[in-house]
Amino acid sequence: MIPVQVVGLGMSLTDLTLRTLDIIKGAQVLVGGRRHLAYFPEHPAEKIILGKDPEHVILKLGELAQYRQIVILASGDPNFFGIGPMVVRLLGPENVRIHPNITAVQAASGRLQTAWQMAQVVSLHGRGWESLDAALNAPGLWFIYTDPAHAPDAIARRLLKSGRIEARLCVLEDLGLETERFAWMSLDEAADRTFSPLNIVVLDLISAPFRNRQGRLPGKDPMFHLGMPEEFYCPERGLITKAEVRAVVLAKLELYPGQVLWDIGAGTGSVGLEASLLIGRGRIVAVEKNPKRAAQITANREKLQVDNFEVICGRAPACLAVLTHPDRVFIGGGGVDLEDILCEVLSCLRPGGKVALTATLLETLEKARKILLRENYLIDIIQLQVSRAQPLAGGSYLQTLNPVWVITGSALAR
């Protein structure tokens, strides 16, 4: 059998090397899509179109290759979301030679002058929406291969429906051709336009807040980030660590990948859930005595798909003794049991551990300070006074939230 040559055309004929041009010139049978074959109208070879059933066509090529040189034309790199693997699988690796070329992702990153080694690639060509839907949970730069059923305008409408109204995308059309063009645009702009069928989409989810058109958070698949609005965790309002306080607490805890964190008096779980973004494959245990709040934490965990997060509905400190000893502890609630809880926490902390508490009452602040001093912990105390702008009479005013103390105890001084 004469080896079948699979040649990537890159973006156009100008991307072909002299060697691959010679391979194409020597073809006795030229195979490819209509667009690929249209590049060689004067070629004397027999031409076979790869249609809707490429497997059937490729299997027949095995017979022709016994005595004729076959060249299959492909877009970009045949092994990158291309036909190369199918040809190898059907004809056998010993009977196939693949000649890679520039991919649409490479060409697009070159036009946009952006690095793509950390980007993600999704192909919707001949596939469903599942791969794009999965991508929406991961901020970053995404390169998306499209097809007529998943055109850029359809992608934009799906993103708008999901709540990513502030994401942006770039549609690069006819790369490598005289009609090439590209532009960044909002989702609203893209949703109302028609594009060349030859395109690739670059989606920027790096700084895309998760809001719908009414400014409210949808109920699932969020763009999870530090400082999520309180309404996301607790739509009906309730006890929750405010976003600004949350950010300071997480910074004071000095979280690292692999640590174990206890979130005691977890309320809605906001601190522990956002800590999951910082501790990687570490472990978080949320302790909450109120069954209704514990159920809310579980619902938030499932919504965010945080799989290293355990919810315990129990009363501290009694339920703490059986838990894996922590590296970090946040106490967001304790009430009359605060002293017992804090003493148990300090006895369980691993060497070099840290504990952070929040307090709105002077009595809570003083109680925590005395216990940490008594146990020879290094103490850091700050007060946070947050004011948020609110609309008023065509302008804005600052609405003041209750001041909060953040008390941090470090085991370094033990």
In a domain, 120, yes or no: yes
Low-confidence ranges of the chain (pLDDT < 70): 134-139, 163-166, 206-223, 235-238, 334, 412-414
In a domain, 212, yes or no: no
230-to-136, 268, 390 alpha-carbon distances in Å? 21, 9, 16
Distance of CA 278 to the CA centre of its chain: 14
Q: What pLDDT score was predicted for residue 238?
A: 62
240 and 349, same domain (yes or no): yes
Q: What pLDDT score was predicted for residue 223?
A: 66
389 and 255, same domain (yes or no): yes
Q: In sequence order, what E strands does 115-259 have?
A: 120-123, 141-145, 168-173, 181-186, 199-204
- Residues belonging to the chain: 414
Q: What is the CATH classification number for the domain harbouring 144?
A: 3.30.950.10
379 and 241, same domain (yes or no): yes
φ, ψ for residue 132, nearest 5 deg: -70, -40
Q: How many domains does the chain have?
A: 3
322 and 184, same domain (yes or no): no
260 and 323, same domain (yes or no): yes
> For the chain, how many helices (H) and strands (E)?
14, 19
Cβ neighbour number for residue 47 with a 10 Å cutoff: 18
Q: How far apart are CA 10 and CA 176, in angstroms?
A: 8
Are 200 and 116 a contacting pair, CB within 8 Å? Answer: no
Q: What is the CATH classification number for the domain harbouring 318?
A: 3.40.50.150
185 and 310, same domain (yes or no): no
Q: What pLDDT score was predicted for residue 390?
A: 87
Are 290 and 264 a contacting pair, CB within 8 Å? Answer: no
**pTM > 0.85: yes or no:** no
41 and 177, same domain (yes or no): no
112 and 97, same domain (yes or no): no
98 and 119, same domain (yes or no): no
In a domain, 221, yes or no: no
Are 150 and 171 a contacting pair, CB within 8 Å? Answer: no
Task: Please name the amino acid found at residue 288.
Answer: E
Q: What pLDDT score was predicted for residue 257?
A: 85
In the block, tokens 């036909």 appear at 83
In a domain, 252, yes or no: yes
pLDDT tens sequence across 319-348 = 998 899 999 999 987 678 899 999 999 999
30 and 43, same domain (yes or no): yes
Give the single-character DSSP code of 2: P
Structural domain boundaries enclosing 278 = 230-413
In the block, tokens 């970009």 appear at 76
From 102, 135, 169, give the residue that closes a domain: 102
270 and 187, same domain (yes or no): no
Q: How far apart are CA 209 and CA 191, in angstroms?
A: 19
